[in-house]
Chains A and B, each alone.
Chain A
């Protein structure tokens, strides 16, 4: 602790200056404490200034900024849809969109990505991605019931809630860090007064929006302030748009963002506007917007990355990879682009290239379980046997929760299958299940191992568990169908084969099986 309250060191530093310096060095806790001390002094003490703002106000504003920065999350990347937004919200204009123009129909675009036989999928046919963002959507449930039944992390990067309740929780959590209760009592503020003073208003708005998550009050303040600025400040327009977006008024938000763009070209505004369009399920409009943005800001990484994400969401993996490559040409340390291209290479039979991309991530100082997991896999499939197991060991060591441990054991099981040691593989998959009881892939693979040993009943039970846990995976359905067909139970075989076909329509073996079964049914 270098700072401490001023005066301890003997050298008197001006407290406001000290606080400001803390703030610039991003020591928000110290800055906030110091500001509190300043604010506790009797207010009349420093009334000697004749400027527009007093020291008191300066400290007050500084403290709001410090508190905001402690919990600040970039609004662009905060995009979570709760169940209610997914199900009950009907913002998309076209109910049955043409293939390739909507995000809600995965698998309809003609992207030449790897098939589910090669690349694992998340819910309903969206291939697993290389990089999980808070706003990653992987397919959406079709009914409320289904949404409630599926595992909570199946659709978004975090456990799903009923109606993006995370914002609220963020606010409350940050309140606990303030021992003396909330800093500002919002209901007692006279927003109209603050709106007159733009320098205070901006900080206050950010505080209300990001720290307190009180969108309604924030909107009030923003409306008053933008009026005061005579609608000439693009910043306030963007903020009003943000508020509308949070409240679910997408068209109004779009209006504000558009008008802000007219005033001033900003990358931020383009990203917000694209977010609105994506929420309205208009990916093509968003793409056009990004391209216009690229004309104004040539080579802007965030814009190219946005294009790539849209392509990826529409299952057009090959062109997504192209755009990610453009990103890398601009910024060769972009983690998301590297990870996506890497996983893409891995699943298109080029583990060596994937290994290079992941090693690049390692060089950049990324140090987590997933990376070492991926490195281990790439090493094994690229036949770099010396690095394989040590990578997995490190991944196990770095795993932060049981799900990650389960992932690593699962992949170790694959390595064990690769060296033909089926006992080891069996143990690995068992350990996967110990760590994560809902690991459908591990159930499926265990079943395959059991089948090889000839334990048909166990295999059936495991496959049933797998298919109920992950109805979107075709493997357990298909395996169950094959198994039932062998025993002669053609009815179950048929139902399972139909489900497999639903999950992966292009699977040749399933189609052959169904054809065969239909012959059985039609024959006398």
Chain B
């Protein structure tokens, strides 16, 4: 009789594997291996692939190693061994094996791509870029583009990343991941038009895309279309009911619509789910300031500062809360910190000036006022933009008041009239004794933020706290990992 052919059933194994009929495939492989005494390379190979699909990487690695012993000249086997090593997190070993594979087969894009990814994990970004570019030259692929873009982002070069993603979109215009990422990058740069375009495209291809919906919603929010944004969020809310960014954005939508209580409950749910997210705490502080609940506002803002100490606006809001809690000393300290940290937001200085002015320190107030003017000047030069009209108004009044102070004609009546004027617009009771509360400016800035629609292109610099109050929305890197990890929450344990 004829000798048994080793590779006799390969076609059937392949067919079963491709049909994802893994149980039957395994049975056949077992049979085949028994018949051939473990020499059938393809059977082992497919067995390893199946094991890998089941998540048993270690076992699959051993089988692939067997394969490469059976057939040492095959680049495929080496590639698979390296791939298994990569999946196990042994990147250096994987690189070595890939290099060997590259010696056998030089024209393979996968080897270059995977080498690039391995280098990325080892933080050798230059080598990784070289390899990925090489892979692109050999054969263009979505994944390679994504990885390259990721590396640029990791190195902090947004512009280069955008270029890469642009090419990727040209190459495969229907990949929603790429579209979304590009949209988010544009959003980060403040290029709303293009961002909207790309996110819209992504949503057309995949209407339930969580990331794109969130980003699009936050853009609408930035332009004041709160109802539209809410309806967008409603679509995702049923799919992702426990997402902190989503609840944060919903909360800020309600805030924009002046439904403060609803806003607070949404934001509190968000912070319950993500206790380490300073943006949610910031928003909570802001809402409580608007509600004139200064103790809670202080609480949330100080928590936010603990988690994110390098932000001027946070200190400014904290100072506003402190002013209302009648702790002027600490408010001053907080303002000092804010001024030191902040570079481009004139509102900080304005609020500080108001406080100093109320304390009778006209010199310091003047100093801060001039500081503010400098910032405004700088902002004006950098681009043509409109300032928050109410902020401008307060600033003008402040200027007038200060000039009066300089010319030494300062009477009590005029101060009172001033404070009256200032107190009125924010809807507070216009009691004469009330000093012109520094939070008025803030309240106005926020109310203007609510009715934002008119001033379409308000850049982050001038829009006072408004754009910041806007959603933190989506982080570019996929959800910053363990930080957003769910916290166990305490149980009111049995009250017997």
For residue B91, CB closer than 8 A to chain A, the reply is yes
A130 & B494 in contact (Cβ 8 Å cutoff): yes
For residue B296, CB closer than 8 A to chain A, the reply is yes
Least distance between A56 CB and chain B CB atoms (Å): 43
Across the interface, which residues of A come within 8 angstroms of B276, CB to CB? Answer: 417, 448, 452
- Report the stretch among B96-104, B249-257, B265-273, B468-476 that lies at the interface: B265-273
- Interface residue from B83, B269, B307, B493 paired with A407 (Cβ < 8 Å): B493
Residues 88-147 of A contacting B (Cβ, < 8 Å): 115, 117-120, 128-132
A370 & B493 in contact (Cβ 8 Å cutoff): yes
B53 & A120 in contact (Cβ 8 Å cutoff): no
A374 & B482 in contact (Cβ 8 Å cutoff): no
B55 & A521 in contact (Cβ 8 Å cutoff): yes
For residue A339, CB closer than 8 A to chain B, the reply is yes
Contacts A373-B492, A491-B87; is A417 near B55 (CB within 8 Å)? no
Least distance between A515 CB and chain B CB atoms (Å): 12
Across the interface, which residues of B come within 8 angstroms of A366, CB to CB? Answer: 495
A475 & B494 in contact (Cβ 8 Å cutoff): no
Instruction: Say which size band chain B's interface belongs to.
Output: 35 or more
How distant is the Cα of A377 from the Cα of B306 in the complex, in angstroms?
A: 21
How distant is the Cα of A343 from the Cα of B489 in the complex, in angstroms?
A: 13
How distant is the Cα of A474 from the Cα of B491 in the complex, in angstroms?
A: 16
Residues 340-360 of B contacting A (Cβ, < 8 Å): none
For residue A464, CB closer than 8 A to chain B, the reply is no
Across the interface, which residues of A come within 8 angstroms of B494, CB to CB? Answer: 129-132, 339, 370
B495 & A130 in contact (Cβ 8 Å cutoff): yes
For residue B481, CB closer than 8 A to chain A, the reply is yes
A490 & B495 in contact (Cβ 8 Å cutoff): no
B485 & A475 in contact (Cβ 8 Å cutoff): yes
A377 & B492 in contact (Cβ 8 Å cutoff): yes
- Report the stretch among B199-207, B219-227, B239-247, B383-391 that lies at the interface: B239-247
B273 & A117 in contact (Cβ 8 Å cutoff): yes
- Interface residue from A418, A448, A473, A488 paired with B485 (Cβ < 8 Å): A448
Contacts A118-B489, A346-B492; is A419 near B306 (CB within 8 Å)? yes
Contacts A407-B493, A441-B488; is A349 near B303 (CB within 8 Å)? no
Across the interface, which residues of A come within 8 angstroms of B275, CB to CB? Answer: 414, 417-418
Least distance between B214 CB and chain A CB atoms (Å): 13
A342 & B495 in contact (Cβ 8 Å cutoff): yes
For residue B403, CB closer than 8 A to chain A, the reply is no
Across the interface, which residues of A come within 8 angstroms of B485, CB to CB? Answer: 448, 451, 475, 478-479, 482
Across the interface, which residues of B come within 8 angstroms of A343, CB to CB? Answer: 491-492, 495
A118 & B243 in contact (Cβ 8 Å cutoff): no
A491 & B303 in contact (Cβ 8 Å cutoff): no
Contacts between chains A and B (CB distance < 8 A), count: 175
Contacts A385-B299, A421-B306, A524-B79; is A448 near B492 (CB within 8 Å)? no
Give the nearest-CB partner of A520 in chain B: B87
Q: Is the interface of B mostly helix, strand, loop or mixed?
A: helix
For residue B134, CB closer than 8 A to chain A, the reply is no
Which of A129, A373, A495 has the largest count of B CB atoms less than 10 A from its CB?
A373
Across the interface, which residues of A come within 8 angstroms of B495, CB to CB? Answer: 130-131, 335, 339, 342-343, 358, 361, 366, 368, 370-371, 374
How distant is the Cα of A381 from the Cα of B482 in the complex, in angstroms?
A: 23
Across the interface, which residues of A come within 8 angstroms of B89, CB to CB? Answer: 484, 487-491
Least distance between A67 CB and chain B CB atoms (Å): 27
B-binding residues in A (CB < 8 A): 115, 117-120, 128-132, 335, 339, 342-343, 346, 349, 354, 358, 361, 366, 368, 370-371, 373-374, 377-378, 381, 383, 385, 407, 410-411, 414, 417-422, 441, 444-445, 448, 451-452, 459, 473-475, 478-479, 482-484, 486-491, 494-495, 498, 507-509, 517-518, 520-524
A-binding residues in B (CB < 8 A): 52-53, 55-58, 79, 83, 86-89, 91, 110, 121, 143, 239-243, 265, 268-269, 272-273, 275-276, 278, 281, 293, 295-296, 299, 302-307, 479, 481-483, 485-496
27 A–B pairs (Cβ distance < 8 Å), ordered by A: A117-B486, A120-B489, A129-B494, A130-B492, A131-B494, A335-B496, A339-B495, A349-B269, A354-B492, A377-B490, A381-B272, A410-B490, A417-B276, A419-B306, A420-B304, A422-B307, A445-B487, A452-B482, A488-B86, A491-B56, A494-B55, A495-B55, A508-B241, A521-B55, A521-B57, A521-B87, A524-B83
Q: Which 5 A-B pairs have the closest CB atoms?
A: A420-B306, A420-B303, A489-B89, A374-B492, A132-B494
